[in-house]
Each structure stands twice: as C-alpha cells, then as structure tokens.
C-alpha cells in the first residue's frame, strides 16, 4: 500500500505492522509508568480529593424531560433544607453538551431550550454532598414540552453532510460505482453500531475556586491545554485568568477529551457563593451528559480484481448528533440532526 495524504493505492503488500515502524521504540519494552507506584499505593491525588478551606459541595440538576423549553424553576423547598447555601442557574452560560478535543472554543452554551433528557440546567450548593443531593431532588422544573426527534432509523433520510472542520469530513477519488461494476469480487454491506457511553472508574469532576478574577479548576481532563481555553471562552475570561489542574485521570476513554458541563457549573456557582465548590457527576449523569460514541449506520464497499487486488474502497457513515453541532464520528459520511447523540425510547 502506498500513496500520500488522502490517497490509497493497493500496489504492494505491507510486510510489517505500522506499529513496528514507530520511532518511539517502546512497544514490547518493560517500562515503568511514572505515576504507576503512586496510583497502586493510593498516593495519587485525583481531582475530587483536593482539600480547600471553606469547601462547599455542588450537585447538578438535569432536565427531567427530553425536549422542551424551561419556563420556571421552583427551588423554595430546596432552599429551606438543612445545609443548603444556594441554588444556582445560568441559562445562558451553562453548557448544553461537552466540547471535543482540539477545539479552543467553548462548547455550545444555553440550556433554557433543553435538547435531551438529563441536560444540566442548575446546581445546588450545600455544606455536604448529601445535603446538596437531597436538595437537588426537591427542585421542580417547569417547562413547555416540544416534540423531539429521537428515532434514528426514521430520520436517516434527513442526514446532512457535516462541514470540514477539525478533520476532513469527506474524500472522494475516482468513480467507485464504476469500479464496483468492473470488480471481479465485491462486498457491499451495511453495518450498524449502537450508541455507547464510557464508564471510567473516576467520574467527571471539577472543583472550582476563585482568587479575585482568577479561576482555578481541579478537574479530570485528558487534553488540559485545550480544555483550559474552552473554559476561559465559556466564562468570558482571558486564558491567563484560568488555571486547570488535572494531574491524574482515572479513566476517560475519550469521554474526558473536551470540557464537560460540571466545570462551568462549578465555576459559576463558586463565584456566586464566594467559596470553592466541588462537583462530581453521578454515574447516570456521566451517561447522560458526557461525550459518547454516536449510533451509526455504515455502508462499506470493497471491490477487487481477479488477483485479489483492491480496486474500490467505499465507506459512508450516518451518525446521530445534536442539531447545529459540528462533531461527527471520524468516518466519511453524514450526520443526522437528532436531538441527542443517542435516540431514546423513554423520552
């Protein structure tokens, strides 16, 4: 196989794996991880384990409906419960959904117009985690329902081609239909994959604290340099005003590549109450609101001549997504404008 970028030509066999040709020379070597001993000894400090004077605890509130517009929020009962400091909302700046890695801009913001069940719309701050959690259950969200779009297969005909942004969305070379007709041997099949969520041992977490107009967030993130820029942009701050600390990540599998909703919610709440605020997502919240693998339908076409040499390769993908989002699974194809990355039958 030879060729430059975006060019494939099956003209010779590849004798060894590309991994074996890597310059780093690490494969097969017995190398100690720098942080390995700290982790197995329990001495590695993860993002939820930092101690702060005056620490308060935040508990996120997700929308109890899949599609609709928030018209009111009744927090009177919650505010009267023991230990409750505040119930904080910011319908303009809270994150609708996480950002992807490599993008310095803020994720899509604005949560009054709810697009999926569990979308983070408020945060309760209390003296303890248990008090914040119990008070969050007492908050009542009033909304005007809007008809959602959740059926992947019913809507697949409305798939739209995403624009080329962080990665090239489309590439075409030659006439694949003609090549398939001339092929001595061919495969033309459609495969489907379900939406999948990560379940890292460490859930998504952010502990936010302010020093004047400077923000420090201890969070669990995989691409700290970009995450810092995303957080600054989301809050209208200069990058030099934001410090993001992520010394250890207890699993991510890609779900911690981009800034997630709890970081902005914790930062806004911390500023409002004047105290550090620790916010750890519950496991259901991780499944509902963090980056997931999209549901897909993939058509794969392969054509070969009588000697088995490939003469045609085609790969077209339809994947689910929220509307107006630039992200798509990194396969050539289309993105469906669904209200969630994962259609749900309980909306």
pLDDT at 270: 98
Whether residue 166 lies inside any domain: the answer is yes
Mean of pLDDT values over 45-64? 97
Greater confidence (298 vs 16) lies with 298
Q: Looking at the structure, do residues 96 and 123 belong to the same domain, yes or no?
A: yes
Neighbours of 236 (CB within 10 A): 9
What is the distance between the alpha carbons of residues 51 and 89, in angstroms, rounded to a whole number?
25
CATH code, domain carrying 301 = 3.30.365.10
What is the distance between the alpha carbons of residues 317 and 297, in angstroms, rounded to a whole number?
6
Q: How far apart are the first and last CA of the chain?
A: 47
Q: Looking at the structure, do residues 140 and 210 belong to the same domain, yes or no?
A: yes
Mean of pLDDT values over 201-219? 98
What is the distance between the alpha carbons of residues 281 and 29, in angstroms, rounded to a whole number?
37
Beta bridge partner(s), residue 313? 302
Last residue within a domain, chosen from 287, 307, 325? 287
Structural contact between residues 56 and 127, judged by C-beta atoms closer than 8 angstroms: yes
Q: Looking at the structure, do residues 66 and 192 belong to the same domain, yes or no?
A: no
Last residue within a domain, chosen from 251, 269, 287? 287
Whether residue 113 lies inside any domain: the answer is yes
pLDDT at 331: 52
Q: Scan for tokens 């040499």, then name that residue.
A: 309
Q: Looking at the structure, do residues 173 and 297 belong to the same domain, yes or no?
A: yes
Count of domains observed in the chain: 2
pLDDT at 107: 93
Whether residue 185 lies inside any domain: the answer is yes
Q: Looking at the structure, do residues 253 and 273 belong to the same domain, yes or no?
A: yes
What is the distance between the alpha carbons of residues 44 and 52, in angstroms, rounded to a whole number?
17
Tell which residue, 273, 300, 99, has the closest CA to residue 193. 300
Structural contact between residues 144 and 68, judged by C-beta atoms closer than 8 angstroms: yes
Q: Looking at the structure, do residues 116 and 90 belong to the same domain, yes or no?
A: yes
DSSP string covering 273-330, please?
Answer: HTS-EEEE--HHHHHHHS-EEPPEEEEEEEEE-TTS-EEEEEEEEEEEE-TT-----S
**Residues with Cβ < 8 Å from 130, sequence gap 6 or more?**
none
Whether residue 343 lies inside any domain: the answer is no
Whether residue 3 lies inside any domain: the answer is no
Q: Which helix (H) or strand (E) holds 59?
A: strand 56-62
Q: Looking at the structure, do residues 227 and 322 belong to the same domain, yes or no?
A: no
Structural contact between residues 114 and 122, judged by C-beta atoms closer than 8 angstroms: no
What is the distance between the alpha carbons of residues 103 and 7, in angstroms, rounded to a whole number?
26
Q: Looking at the structure, do residues 64 and 135 belong to the same domain, yes or no?
A: yes
Sheet hosting strand 113-114, strand order edge to edge:
113-114, 68-74, 140-145
Q: pLDDT-derived band of residue 336, with 50, 70 and 90 as boundaries?
A: low
What is the distance between the alpha carbons of residues 277 and 297, in angstroms, rounded to a whole number?
42
pLDDT at 339: 44
Q: Which of 57-66, 192-201, 218-227, 318-327 has the lowest mean pLDDT?
A: 318-327
Residues spanned by the domain of 162: 152-197+292-337
Residue 192 DSSP SS3: strand
Q: Looking at the structure, do residues 191 and 60 belong to the same domain, yes or no?
A: no
The one-character DSSP state at 79 is H
Q: pLDDT-derived band of residue 343, with 50, 70 and 90 as boundaries?
A: very low
What are the φ and ψ backbone dihedral angles of 152, each rounded to 5 degrees?
Answer: -55, -50
Whether residue 131 lies inside any domain: the answer is yes
This prediction has a pTM of 0.87
Whether residue 231 lies inside any domain: the answer is yes
Q: Which of 84-93, 234-243, 256-265, 323-332 has the lowest mean pLDDT?
A: 323-332
The one-character DSSP state at 163 is P
The one-character DSSP state at 11 is -
Whether residue 250 lies inside any domain: the answer is yes
Last residue within a domain, chosen from 252, 271, 287? 287
Per DSSP (E only), the strands in 162-295 are 185-193, 196-197, 205-211, 214-219, 242-245, 277-280, 292-293
Q: Looking at the structure, do residues 307 and 246 belong to the same domain, yes or no?
A: no
Structural contact between residues 62 and 111, judged by C-beta atoms closer than 8 angstroms: no
Q: Looking at the structure, do residues 277 and 326 belong to the same domain, yes or no?
A: no
What is the distance between the alpha carbons of residues 34 and 42, in angstroms, rounded to a whole number?
14
Q: Looking at the structure, do residues 165 and 219 belong to the same domain, yes or no?
A: no
Statement: residue 338 has pLDDT above 60 = no
Question: Using one digit for the tens of pLDDT, what is the confidence trace for 276-311?
Answer: 999 999 999 999 999 888 899 999 999 999 999 899
Q: Which helix (H) or strand (E) holds 211?
A: strand 205-211
What is the distance between the alpha carbons of residues 191 and 319, in angstroms, rounded to a whole number?
12
What is the distance between the alpha carbons of residues 341 and 328, in angstroms, rounded to a whole number?
10
For the chain, percent of residues with pLDDT exceeding 70? 86
């Amino acid at each position: 196989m030879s060729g430059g970028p975006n060019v494939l030509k099956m003209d010779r066999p590849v004798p060894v794996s590309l991994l074996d040709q890597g310059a780093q020379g690490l494969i097969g070597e017995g190398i100690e991880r720098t942080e390995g001993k700290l982790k197995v000894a329990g001495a590695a400090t993860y993002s939820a384990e930092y101690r702060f004077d005056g620490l308060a605890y935040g508990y996120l509130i997700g929308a109890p409906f899949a599609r609709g517009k928030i018209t009111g929020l009744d927090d009177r009962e919650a505010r009267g419960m023991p230990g409750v400091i505040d119930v904080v909302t910011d319908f303009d700046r809270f994150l609708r959904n996480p950002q992807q890695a490599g993008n310095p801009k803020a994720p899509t913001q604005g949560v009054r117009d709810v697009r999926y069940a569990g979308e983070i719309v408020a945060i309760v701050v209390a003296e303890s985690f248990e008090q914040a959690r119990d008070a969050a259950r007492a908050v009542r969200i009033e909304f005007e329902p809007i008809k959602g779009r959740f059926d992947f297969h019913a809507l697949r005909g409305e798939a739209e081609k995403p624009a080329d942004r962080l990665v090239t969305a489309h590439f075409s070379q030659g006439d694949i239909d003609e090549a398939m007709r001339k092929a001595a041997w061919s495969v033309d099949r459609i495969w489907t994959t379900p939406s999948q969520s990560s379940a890292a041992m460490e859930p998504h977490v952010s502990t936010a604290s302010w020093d004047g107009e400077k923000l420090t967030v201890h969070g669990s993130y995989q691409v700290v340099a970009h995450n810092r820029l995303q957080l600054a942009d989301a809050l209208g701050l200069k990058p030099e005003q934001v410090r993001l600390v992520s010394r250890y990540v207890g699993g991510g599998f890609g779900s911690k590549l981009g800034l997630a909703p709890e970081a902005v919610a914790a930062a806004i709440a911390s500023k409002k109450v004047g105290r550090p605020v620790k916010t750890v997502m519950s496991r259901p919240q991780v499944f509902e609101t963090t980056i997931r693998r999209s549901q897909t339908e993939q058509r794969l076409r392969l054509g070969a001549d009588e000697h088995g040499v490939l003469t045609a390769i085609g790969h077209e993908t339809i994947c689910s997504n929220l509307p107006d989002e630039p992200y798509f699974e990194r396969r050539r194809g289309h993105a469906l404008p669904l209200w969630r990355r994962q259609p749900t039958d309980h909306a």
